[in-house]
Structure 1
Amino acid sequence: MPASQTSPPSPTTQLISVVLPCYNEEAVLGRTHDRIARALRPVEGVRYEVIYVDDGSADATWNLIRTFTRESPMVRAVRFSRNFGHQAACLGGLKEARGDAVVLLDADLQDPPEIIPEMVARWRQGWRVVSARRTARHGESVFKNLSAFAFYRILDRLSDHPVAFDTGDFRLLDREVVDLLTGLTDRELFLRGAVSWAGFPETAIEYQREPRAAGASKYTLPKMLALSRSAFLTGGSALPLRIPLGTGTAALAAAFVMALTRRGRPKALPLALFGAQSLAVGVVGEYLHAVLRQGQGRPSYVISERIRSTIPGAVLASVEEVA
């Protein structure tokens, strides 16, 4: 066994939880459920449970999920009181999961559930994190492909720890990793950054990401920017805090050079100083906002309904439940 691995989990305690965050996915959810049911073929010593997390959908997503729970004893579900975002939905699913390992999977079929058994096989070999690495992103715009490519590489440069390239939230996490993540107190938890920060033994399975089976991407540009903000500000890097110092030093150096060589442009100096001050204030402001969010102590999400049983209609309402 490679030195980077640890002892395999006991074959007598292998329940695998598959968590699917959902937001307005009625157009594709039926196909997703069918493919998951076919993909989770029986493996000796392994049982599965599927947990749907409805992140405040405004369409028929929750009604479909309720139907799934009535049809299959392996399905459970929770519903948020409103849309709290993809990362909150992933975290909520991790907290609901009972498995010895948990697989995070989006519901739009861009990430193939058929590779879950291979993930489980790698986990049974002793890997604590099994990531799915995208080698291609079909059906996405040039901007989305370029921005995603740049995002992971810039994050890796800024981060204080290694970051897995081209790897989203589609991954298998051992119970030890799940317990660590769900025990963190971060209010704006960036899951893939937290997994990298934890440093557990990790391997990857490569695949080509397919176009969405139906519907439109829920990651609009504002949501992509919000995710990037969380990644850079709460992902563990101290480098942004040092930007004002470097910028101020560069501005002073530039001002000195301009004073010597560009005496006919007196407006350049105050403009450069203004830009440096604005950038410094902006960076500090972002960090203060992150501190405010953390200090408020508000929950990441609120659960309005939970289906724990496969008995028709067995919905436990708990509108004030938070996590």
Structure 2
Amino acid sequence: MPSIPFPAAPQGPVPAGASGAAGPATGRPPLISVVVPCFDEEAVLERTHRRLTTVLGALPDCAHEVVYVDDGSRDGTWRTLTSLSGGDPAVRLVRLTRNFGHQQAILAGLRAATGDAVITMDADLQDPPELIPELVERWRAGWSVVSARRTSRAGESRFKVVTAHVYYRLLAALADQPVALDTGDFRLLDRAVVRLLTELPEGEPYLRGSVCWAGFPEVSVGYERLPRPAGRSKYSLRKMAELSRRGLVSCSPVPARMPAVVGVAWLGGAAMTAAVRRHRLPLAAWTFGCEAVLLGLLGEYLRLVHRELRGRPPYVLLERHPPQPDEPAAPAEAAGEAVLPLPVARTRAAR
């Protein structure tokens, strides 16, 4: 598998006045990109842009751009966005042919963003732009991923709050990699992380899981999620269920292994019942148990095929000891390794 080259990301303490990898190297202030996916958000967009530009304009020693992605809106969202771009040269627009979904829209924005750090957030102002300076400050301190963790969810139904709480903990328990709790898509990503996410050949991206899978140094910042100031949520129960399914399938092997677990449990329970009652084990119990085990084994093979079709590298190399210059065909790269030339100074505290 060909290697994926990644630029350096800021690691460890950064001197005052400096920032991300591109800023000091080129003698220019770092560029902060904000990616905002939009779907029928005409009612709130002008307010969102006003607050965003106020916050971004006050960032010290930083340039900024805002990338709005119109995910097939049916209202006047695109008209509003074109009006905003006409009055602000920092605005960039991406328009999708139809509503592909929230994760796909964020991915389109990440591919269009050019910043040294990229912040993804929703357009409905439930993710407060006023948190951005703290995200940028943590990035300048050396963190590659700065996630905004929801400490409360004002304005949302009890059903949504409870199901979200249960889902995140269920996903964390079942996933085969660490998963950030109570964290959506409001986060800052270093350019190296963005490069990795945009290079992954996945048709159904689950970016939250992909960020956790990559294993970059991550820290979280707590915030209170606010009620929507206008409009209504576009995340229906069906869309929430679809996102949950995608997360479980993407991050956890458990769904593929459930038939085998059920089959073994069924056979064990039937055998114990037959032994206690001193009866022969019914043929139907044997048949169902064996079929379930075979389906579980088939699921394991399908999971391996699924992982191969994703095209992900087997791991991301954070550093070399001693550091080596970039080579077009290094031995490690020939083995299908994604080489990430980051500085050595990554401490356990930054994990």
Give the alignment's TM-score, normalised by structure 1.
Answer: 0.81
Q: How far apart, CA to CA, are the structure 2 residues paired with 1:285 and 1:79?
A: 38
Pair 1:163–1:283, CA change in 2 (3 A): farther
Q: What is the match of residue 328 of structure 2?
A: none
Pair 1:279–1:24, CA change in 2 (3 A): farther
Q: What is the match of residue 240 of structure 1?
A: 255
Q: Say which of 141, 166, 188 aligns to 1:172.
A: 188
2:268 paired with 1:253: yes
Pair 1:114–1:272, CA change in 2 (3 A): farther
1:56 touches 1:80 (CA, 8 Å); kept in 2?
A: yes
Equivalent residue letter for 2:218: E
Q: What is the match of residue 57 of structure 2?
A: 41
Equivalent residue letter for 2:147: S
Name stretches of at least 5 consecutive residues in structure 1 with no aligned partner: 298-323
**1:292 positional shift:** 8.0
Deviations 1:185-220 (CA, angstroms, capped at 9, x unpaired)? 111111011111111111111111011122221111
Q: How far apart, CA to CA, are the structure 1 residues paired with 2:44 and 2:277?
A: 62
Pair 1:283–1:153, CA change in 2 (3 A): farther
Q: How far apart, CA to CA, are the structure 1 residues paired with 2:210 and 2:97?
A: 26
Q: How far apart, CA to CA, are the structure 2 residues paired with 1:108 and 1:144?
A: 17
Q: What is the match of residue 186 of structure 1?
A: 202
Q: How far apart, CA to CA, are the structure 2 residues paired with 1:153 and 1:245?
A: 23
Identity of aligned residues (%): 53
Name stretches of at least 5 consecutive residues in structure 2 with no aligned partner: 1-10, 312-351
2:87 paired with 1:71: yes
**1:161 positional shift:** 1.3
Equivalent residue letter for 2:148: A
Q: How far apart, CA to CA, are the structure 2 residues paired with 1:182 and 1:98?
A: 12
- Matched residue SS, 1:121: helix
- Matched residue SS, 1:132: strand
Equivalent residue letter for 1:211: P
Q: Say which of 123, 129, 152 aligns to 2:145.
A: 129
Deviates more, 1:32-41 or 1:135-144: 32-41
Q: What is the match of residue 88 of structure 1?
A: 104
Q: How far apart, CA to CA, are the structure 2 residues paired with 1:75 and 1:225?
A: 33
Deviations 1:221-255 (CA, angstroms, capped at 9, x unpaired)? 111111111111122x3333332222111000121
Q: How far apart, CA to CA, are the structure 2 residues paired with 1:252 and 1:65?
A: 60
Pair 1:32–1:273, CA change in 2 (3 A): farther
**In the comparison of the two structures, how many residue pairs are matched?**
291
Equivalent residue letter for 2:274: A
**1:295 positional shift:** 5.9
Q: How far apart, CA to CA, are the structure 1 residues paired with 2:95 and 2:109?
A: 10
Q: What is the match of residue 321 of structure 1?
A: none
Pair 1:247–1:293, CA change in 2 (3 A): closer
2:126 paired with 1:142: no
1:190-201 to 2 correspondences below 5 Å: 190-201=206-217
Pair 1:66–1:283, CA change in 2 (3 A): farther
CA RMSD, 1 decimal: 3.0
Q: How far apart, CA to CA, are the structure 2 residues paired with 1:217 and 1:53?
A: 17
Q: Say which of 86, 90, 104 aligns to 2:120.
A: 104
Q: How far apart, CA to CA, are the structure 2 residues paired with 1:141 and 1:103?
A: 27
Deviations 1:9-43 (CA, angstroms, capped at 9, x unpaired)? 24534000000000011111121111112221333
2:270 touches 2:285 (CA, 8 Å); kept in 1?
A: no
Q: How far apart, CA to CA, are the structure 1 residues paired with 2:285 and 2:139?
A: 56
Deviates more, 1:78-87 or 1:31-40: 31-40
Pair 1:224–1:293, CA change in 2 (3 A): farther
**1:92 positional shift:** 0.3
Q: How far apart, CA to CA, are the structure 1 residues paired with 2:301 and 2:37?
A: 28
Pair 1:106–1:291, CA change in 2 (3 A): farther
Q: What is the match of residue 343 of structure 2?
A: none
2:256 touches 2:296 (CA, 8 Å); kept in 1?
A: no
**1:90 positional shift:** 0.4
**1:160 positional shift:** 1.5
Q: Say which of 73, 79, 89 aligns to 1:57.
A: 73
Q: Say which of 141, 154, 163 aligns to 2:170.
A: 154
**1:281 positional shift:** 5.3
